[in-house]
Amino acid sequence: MRDGQLHRAADLGRRLGVSTRTIWRDMATLSGSGIPIEGERGVGYVLRAPVSLPPMALNRDEFEALRLGMSLVATSEDATLAAAARSLRGKIGAVTPQGMQDDGADTFVYSSPEAAASARHLATLRRALREHLFLDLTLTGQDESMRVRPLHLEYWGRLWTLTSWSENDNKFISLRVDLIAKIALSGGAFLPEPGKTLDDFLEHFTAAH
């Protein structure tokens, strides 16, 4: 968008491989954060001023934290994220100052059987979260499927959890991803509704505690 031209959401979505709805949401987020983007749905978007990220200087501990995070993701069973982490590791290594270079050894590796069991579902969950898609889930040991609106995915160092709005029970639920036996993208996309969003869940959680 740095060319200053008007770009339609549908064109951006095709180029980036995401839905038009995702472009709408991301443009609203960028505009709200102060990026000088102007436009609206059905018309298009234009960047009114050049934008660039400021350079960052990282100390040795920050480099170590960054490398550790990339190493963890690179060993994930989520093939898309693992490939992205390996690519990112190479790019960062190319601009790392002498004396802080990555020697290629992964000193720390954290995992668990629960995290490994969750990996097979992560790509589907990430897509559902990005594009606001309904999910039909069946938990291990249960026969009945539930339809949910996925709201938030979180990793706790051992477990992945999914916070959702349950269409079956009309309430917020938090599920362990490793306990999901079956998962399917079904029912199309949903629009945020008052009382069923992540902000509503956080407000409800804060009030309860």
Output Rg (C-alpha) for the chain, integer angstroms: 20
pLDDT beyond 90 at 139: yes
Question: How much is the pLDDT for 104?
Answer: 47
The whole-chain average pLDDT of the chain stands at: 82
Q: What is the pLDDT of residues 150-195, one digit of tens each?
A: 999 888 878 889 999 999 999 999 999 999 999 999 878 999 899 9
Q: 23 with 13: CB under 8 angstroms?
A: yes
The secondary structure of the chain, three-state, reads CCCCCCECHHHHHHHHCCCHHHHHHHHHHHHHCCCCEEEECCCEEEECCCCCCCCCCCCHHHHHHHHHHHHHHHCCCCHHHHHHHHHHHHHHHHCCCCCCCCCCCCCCCCCCHHHHHHHHHHHHHHHHHHHCEEEEEEECCCCCCEEEEEEEEEECCCCEEEEEEECCCCEEEEEEHHHEEEEEEEEEECCCCCCCCHHHHHHHHHHHC
Q: What is the pLDDT of residues 96-133, one digit of tens each?
A: 666 555 544 444 444 678 887 888 898 899 889 989 99
pLDDT beyond 70 at 52: no
d(CA 180, CA 208): 27
Name all domains of the chain by residue range, CATH numbers in brackets.
9-47 (no CATH), 55-110 (no CATH), 113-208 (2.30.30.100)
pLDDT beyond 70 at 78: yes
pLDDT band at 42 (very low <50, low <70, confident <90, very high): confident
- Proportion of the chain above pLDDT 90, given as a percent: 30
